[in-house]
Structure 1
Amino acid sequence: MGEILVGACSWTDRELVGSGWYPSGWRDAEGRLRHYAGRFPVVEVDSTYYGLPSERNSLLWSERTPDGFLFDVKAFSLLTGHPTRDGALPGDLRGRVGRGEPGAGVLDEVWGRFGSALEPLRRAGRLGAVLFQFPPWFAPGERAERFLAECAERTAGWSVAVEFRHPAWWQEERYADTAALLSESGMAAVAVDMVQTLDVSVPPVLPVTSPELAMIRFHGRNEAWGTGTKEDRFRHEYTVGELAEWAPRVARAAERARQVHVLFNNCCADAAVRAAEAMRNLLVTERTLVVR
C-alpha cells in the first residue's frame, strides 16, 4: 500500500495569505512556509510556471521544511508550449523568443537553468514531482507525442507528472493509448477534478501510469472555468460529499503507486487548505491507508 500525501497548490497565494489562515507572527516568507509545512507534507510550487526558479529559493525552501516534506514543482511555461512573456525570461535571454517557437539554443539554456535551480531541493530530498501542465490546445497526435518524448528525454532521472487540459486525451476511445504512452515514458498521469458541463471539461478519470507516483489535482467545480480572473475560475468550496466521491478511488490508486499526491487548487481564501484537511480526515478513517 502506497503513502498518500495531501496538500495545496500554493502556500503563497495572496488569497490564502489574506485569509487569516497564517497566525500573527508567521506571515513573513519564512514563517508562512514553516507554518504550512507543520500542517501538510506536500505543496505545489506554481510560481515556477510564471518565471524560472532560483537555486537560492530552492535552498531556502529546503532549509525551512522538515525531513520528508516534498515540493511538487510546476514546469516553466516555455517548457510546456505556453505563451511566455519576454519579461519572464532571464535578462540575457530576453528578445530571443519572439512570437514563434523558441530556438533550440534558448530552449536548451532554459531547460538547463530550470534543472540547476531545482538541485538544492533534490539534494535535500525535498523534490517531489515536476508537473508538466500542457495547454488546452495540446491535443493528441504525432506532434504532441514527439513533444512528450523530448520532455521525457530531457527529464531523465526526474519524477515527472503530466496534466492534460485537452479532454480528448482521457476520453474513452483514447484512454488506453494515453495511459500506455505515459507509462512507456515513465511519466505519472495527473487526474483532475473540475466542472463537467463544459466542452473543455477533462473527464474525472484516475489512471495510474507509474509505479512510483499518482497525482490528483482538485481545481474546483466552477462554471467560470476558462473565463474571468484566476479567483473566478477556481472559486469553489468542496463539500464532504464531493470529496467522498474520490476517497475510495484515491485508496485504489495507493494500491498501485508508491505515493499518491492529492493537491487542492481551489485557491480562494483558505478554501484549498480546508478542503485538504477535510480530505485527509476522510482518508484516515480507512485504517489500511498511510496518509500524511
Structure 2
Amino acid sequence: MKLLIGTGGYTNDDWLGLIYPEGTKQGDYLGIYSRYFNAVEVNSSFYAIPGEKAFAGMLRKTDGKTMFTVKLNKVFTHERSYTEDDVQRMILSPKPIREAEMLGPFLAQFPYSFKRTPEHRKYLQHLVMAFEGHPLAVEFRHASWLKEEVLEAFKELGLIWVSADYPPMEGLPPYQVQASSKTVYIRLHGRNKETWWEGQSASDRHDYRYNEEEIQDIADQIAAIKDVDTVYLFFQNTTKGHALFNYQTLKDALKQHDLVVDIPKGSGLF
C-alpha cells in the first residue's frame, strides 16, 4: 500500500517560519513543500484552470517526484454550468504532469447544498461520463449520499469515494474510510464545530489541530484497509500550521503499523 500524503494547497503564508524560511517568495513555496510531502492537492484550479505552462512549472519545482491531484473547477461542482470546452481544458491542462506519470485523480468536491436528489444524481452521471477514462475522486458534503447503493455504484464505475473528516454535526457525513476502488482518498478538514458554518473563510472553518488520540484513530483506520494499492491523504487544516504538526504525528502513528511515508527528497522532518 503506497501512502501519498500532503495538504490542500501549499501557498500558506502562515507557514513562514515553520517550513518556509522567513522571506521566502510564494514562487518558491512548492519546491520547499516537496521536501516534506510526497503529494499535493492543487486547489487553485477550483478558481481558475491553470494552463499547461503552469503545471509544467509545478512539475519542475518538485523535480518530478511529487504526486499531484487536481481539484475540478467550480464550474463543474458549484456552478454546474460547464461546457465541453471546460472539460477539455480541465483534462488537457495537466498534460505535463500526466506525461511524467505524476498525476493522480481529479477531485470533484461538491458543496453541502448538493444533496442526493434525482436532479443531482442525473447531473453526477453526466459529469462522470464527461471525465470517463480519467480517475475521478468525488467528495459529498451532505450525508444523504452515504448509502450502500451509492458505494456499490462507485465500485461498479471505478469512481473513488472521498472519505472526508468533518466536525460531528447533523447533515455532515461521519468520518469512515471507504474503499470503492484500489485507490483510497482521504481529506481531513478538522472538527471545529464553532466555525464550520459561522466561519468567514476556509481558514476559519479549518482552524483545528487534531489531538494525538484522533490522529491515532485515523492511522488505525488506514492500517485496517484491505486490498488497496494507494492511499491519498490530504490535510485541509493548513491554517496556523495545524497540518504540519498533525502530519508529523500521523507519520509516527503509521510507523506503529509498519507503514512508512516515503519522502524522496529528504527526511521530511520539521
Query: 1:183-229 CA distances to partner (integer Å, 9 max, x unpaired)?
Result: 12211111111210x22322112110012x10111101101112222
Question: Could you tell me whether the CA contact under 8 Å between 1:263 and 1:276 is conserved in 2?
Answer: no
Indicate the SS of the match to 1:231: helix
Alignment partner, residue 10 of structure 1: 9
1:222 to 187, 192, 195: 192
Alignment partner, residue 243 of structure 2: 272
Alignment partner, residue 34 of structure 1: 31
1:164 aligns with 2:140: yes
RMSD value, Cα: 1.8
Write the distance in 1 (CA, Å) between the matches of 2:130 and 2:94.
14
Indicate the SS of the match to 1:184: helix
Q: How does 1:1-292 map to 2 (within 5 A)?
A: 2-16=1-15, 18=16, 20-24=18-22, 27-80=24-77, 82-83=78-79, 102=81, 107-170=83-146, 174=147, 176-196=148-168, 198-211=169-182, 213-223=183-193, 224-229=195-200, 230-253=202-225, 255-287=226-258, 289-292=259-262
Question: Could you tell me whether the CA contact under 8 Å between 1:74 and 1:133 is conserved in 2?
Answer: yes
Alignment partner, residue 94 of structure 1: none
Alignment partner, residue 92 of structure 1: none
Tell me the amino acid that sits aligned with residue 14 of structure 2: E
Q: Return the offset for 1:291.
A: 2.7
Question: Could you tell me whether the CA contact under 8 Å between 1:19 and 1:269 is conserved in 2?
Answer: no
Alignment partner, residue 93 of structure 1: none
Alignment partner, residue 266 of structure 2: none
Number of equivalences? 260
Quote the sequence identity (%).
Answer: 27
Q: Return the offset for 1:19.
A: 5.2
Alignment partner, residue 268 of structure 2: none
Pick closer, same or farther for the CA change 1:19–1:51 going to 2, 3 Å.
farther
Pick closer, same or farther for the CA change 1:125–1:29 going to 2, 3 Å.
farther
Tell me the amino acid that sits aligned with residue 159 of structure 1: P
Q: Return the offset for 1:117.
A: 1.0
Q: Return the offset for 1:144.
A: 2.4
Pick closer, same or farther for the CA change 1:29–1:56 going to 2, 3 Å.
farther
Alignment partner, residue 88 of structure 1: none
Tell me the amino acid that sits aligned with residue 252 of structure 2: N
Q: Return the offset for 1:290.
A: 4.5
Question: Could you tell me whether the CA contact under 8 Å between 2:4 and 2:67 is conserved in 1?
Answer: no
Indicate the SS of the match to 2:219: helix
Tell me the amino acid that sits aligned with residue 145 of structure 2: W
Tell me the amino acid that sits aligned with residue 173 of structure 2: V
Alignment partner, residue 267 of structure 2: none
Tell me the amino acid that sits aligned with residue 65 of structure 1: T
Tell me the amino acid that sits aligned with residue 47 of structure 1: S
Question: Could you tell me whether the CA contact under 8 Å between 1:33 and 1:64 is conserved in 2?
Answer: yes
